Amino acid sequence: MKRIKTALLVAALVVGLSSLAEASAVPAVVCPTASLPTYLASGFSCTFGSLTFSNFNYSDAAFGGATPVPDTGISVTPVTAGSEVGFQFEAPWSVSAAQGEDSAITYTVTGSITDLTLSIAGFGVTNGGNVSVGETSDNPALSLLVFDNLAGVQATDTITGLSLSSLTVVKDIALAGNNGVATLSIVDNLFSTKVTRSGAPEPSSILLFGAGLVGLAGYLRRRYSSKS
């Protein structure tokens, strides 16, 4: 009987230590502040808050003599806003009359997602110029749109009430000078999530570890007393 009790106590201690070690393990790569090519590297993924970001892709185009923005010209900064986390993409998007630029940024978000927000800053148009950023997802079918053009200005768009564990988004950044100019410098993309302290042991792991220690200490004390 004593051997069974000993085995059970040791098993509890081992499980507690294993859970604690797992919870305290070195976390996955934290999303860095870097130029876009860092994110485009083959197999790259990173975490921010409780979300994981992966499968980054980028394409660009231009017409009318405009110069397309290369991936090296786009900086990526992880940002937070309340309970939301995501990225700020910054680049010198700019076109003159009869010119146009188009940049498409794609990536996958994994984790608990209940809403997403798209916004722009540092933008402006003249004489019929157009700045628009559309964000779409095929599964499920979602669509966000922010713009500054003849239709007016909408700098932020949000979708709420979602319950997703994975989402692949495509951001289409389009500028057209038409008879004037169009400029844009910042695109923000945020996802709802609960930000947790990286590497902190879960309460359940701590309790299990503590239970194993208490049980083992009690057993050793009783064994010592019986021998005395």
Same domain for 72 and 148, yes or no, is: yes
Mean pLDDT over residues 191-196, rounded? Answer: 68
Q: Can you give the pLDDT at residue 203? A: 46
Q: Which residue has the higher pLDDT, 58 or 225?
A: 58
The per-residue pLDDT for 122 is 98
Which own/partner pairs from 135-138 qualify as long-range (CB within 8 Å, at least 24 positions apart)? 135/169, 135/170, 135/171, 135/172, 135/189, 136/169, 136/170, 136/172, 137/167, 137/168, 137/169, 137/170, 138/168
Same-domain check for residues 66 and 99: yes
Between 121 and 201, the more confident residue is 121
**CB contact at 8 A, 107 and 44:** no
Instruction: State pTM to two decimals.
Output: 0.75
Residues 58 and 139 in one domain: yes
| Alpha-carbon distances of 96 from 71, 89, 182, rounded to whole Å | 21, 22, 7
Please enumerate in sequence order all residues whose Cβ is within 8 A of that of 88, keeping only pairs 6 or more positions apart, or say none. Answer: 76, 77, 78, 79, 186, 187, 188
What is the average pLDDT across 196-202?
42
109 with 67, same domain: the answer is yes
Residue 10 has pLDDT above 60, yes or no: no
For residue 61, tell me if it sits in a domain. yes
Same domain, yes or no, for 14 and 40? no
What is the domain count for the chain?
2
**Distance (Å, whole) CA 16 – CA 8:** 12
Work out the average pLDDT over 23-50: 87
Q: In angstroms, rounded to a whole number, what is the distance separating the alpha carbons of residues 7 and 13?
A: 10
Nearest CA among 99, 102, 180, 106 for reference residue 137: 106
CA-nearest of 42, 122, 105, 34 to 76 is 34
Q: What is the pLDDT of residue 225?
A: 57
pLDDT at 28: 73
In a domain, 126, yes or no: yes
**Model confidence pLDDT, tens digit, residues 143-184:** 999 999 999 999 999 999 999 999 999 999 999 999 999 999
Range of the domain at 93: 34-192
Q: What is the pLDDT of residues 73-114, one digit of tens each?
A: 999 999 998 889 999 999 999 999 999 999 999 999 999 999
Model confidence at 141: pLDDT above 50:
yes
Same structural domain for residues 122 and 180?
yes
Task: Evaluate if residue 8 carries a pLDDT over 60.
Answer: no
Instruction: Identify whether 123 is part of a domain.
Output: yes
pLDDT in the model for residue 215: 53
Rounded Cα–Cα distance for residues 27 and 111 (Å)? 15
Q: Say how far apart CA 172 and CA 170 lie, in whole Å.
A: 6
Q: Are residues 43 and 110 in the same domain?
A: yes
Higher local confidence (pLDDT), 194 or 159? 159
58 pLDDT more than 70: yes
pLDDT in tens, 106-138: 999 999 999 999 999 999 999 999 999 999 999
The pLDDT value recorded for residue 226 is 56
Query: Same domain for 219 and 147?
Result: no
For residue 213, the model assigns a pLDDT of 45
Looking at the domain assignment, is residue 90 inside a domain?
yes
127 and 54 within one domain:
yes
pLDDT at residue 2 greater than cutoff 60: no
- What is the residue-wise DSSP string for 149-215? ETTEEE-EEEE-S--EEEEEEEEEEEEE-TTSEEEEEEEEEEEE-----TTPPPHHHHHHHHHHHHH
* In a shared domain, residues 10 and 60: no
pLDDT at 199: 41
